[in-house]
Amino acid sequence: MALQVRVATTMAEAAGILGSDQRTRLLSGGTLVMRDINEGRFLDGTLLRLTDPAYHQINASGARVELGAGATMAMVLANRDLAFLHPVARAIGGPAIRQMATIGGNLFAATPYGDFAVALLALDAQVMVQSGYGSARAVAIEEFLNARERGASGLVTSVQFAKPQNAADFRFRKVSRVKPKGVSVMSIAVHLPNSASRIGQARVAYGAMAPAPVRARGVERALEGKPLDAAAIQAAKAAALEGTRPVTDAIASDWYRREVAPVHLGRLLAGEGR
């Protein structure tokens, strides 16, 4: 059988189609799935287009943010309420890629891609997943990313998270060799509520330091309950590699990633430039 294209007009319909046929793939922004078609890796099956306007919707004016999985990086950049996420969206590809690339697709992008997913992991996001015609259920992003490695499926309809109370509590850095548009050697997102006094509920996430974005739990423990001072940053750097499994790829070796991770983490926490 050859490739065919189907169109779903509602998210429920798309979830139903995805759930009933393993060889169906959703076309979100298409920056990865079209590559597979162009290069002959996806020639047999169904490409599903979704035209539901709700899939692209962003709701960010209140304390809880909901980003439709079909919202693009350009849409994030155009939204003033999401200013804290602008450095993340701007770090993804060039202007044309950002016009196309969606948040939903980023959750599925294989390492070293997935920079937006790293930010969502530090924000403790809930991923809304709809399987079949029922209603969407909330899955913690960490669980979602772990299940992704096992090949779990379903339609991601949106992601939801609490907006950081203070924009300065959320920081993101992408380390790449080519600027301004290079693939990640690694990316780091940190959410340190109350970083001006004593940090509560620290969240630190890495991209490209494991087969999928991961939390740096050792770093989180080192920062928890402390003021963000030189001693805390030193402790965080010492714990930087706990739980990581970096890979070697065309961008960097696993050794190099291990060497630079504590350095970049330290600089991000200290608010220093590269």
Partner 1 sequence: MAKSPVQFRLNGSDRATFVDPGDNLLVTLRRGLNEFGPKYGCGQGACGVCTVLIDGEPHLSCLTLAVACEGRHVETVSGMADGPNLHPLQNAFMDNFAAQCGFCTPGMLMAARALLERNPNPTREEVIEGIAGNICRCTGYEPIITAILAAAGNRGQRQA
244 scored as a contact of partner 1 (CB under 8 A): no
According to CB under 6 A, which one of 106, 111, 126, 195 is a site residue for ligand FAD?
106
What CA–CA distance (Å, rounded) separates 144 from 73?
A: 21
Interface with ligand FAD (CB under 6 A), residue total 28
| Strands of 45-50's sheet in order across | 3-8, 45-50, 24-27
Interacting residues with partner 1 between 131 and 190 (CB under 8 A): 180-181
Interacting residues with partner 1 between 80 and 99 (CB under 8 A): 93-97, 99
Identity of the residue, 126 or 176, whose beta carbon is nearer to partner 1 in the bound complex: 176
159: CB partners within 8 A, 6+ apart = 66, 67, 69, 103, 107, 120, 125, 126, 127, 128, 141
206 scored as a contact of ligand FAD (CB under 6 A): no
* Number of alpha carbons in the 13 Å side-chain half-sphere of residue 80: 0
Identity of the residue, 97 or 147, whose beta carbon is nearer to partner 1 in the bound complex: 97
Least separation in angstroms between CB 104 and partner 1? 16
What CA–CA distance (Å, rounded) separates 237 from 250?
A: 26
Least separation in angstroms between CB 99 and partner 1? 5
Q: In the complex, which residues of this chain contact partner 1 (CB under 8 A)? A: 2-5, 27, 30-31, 34-35, 37-39, 42-43, 47, 49, 74, 93-97, 99-100, 180-181
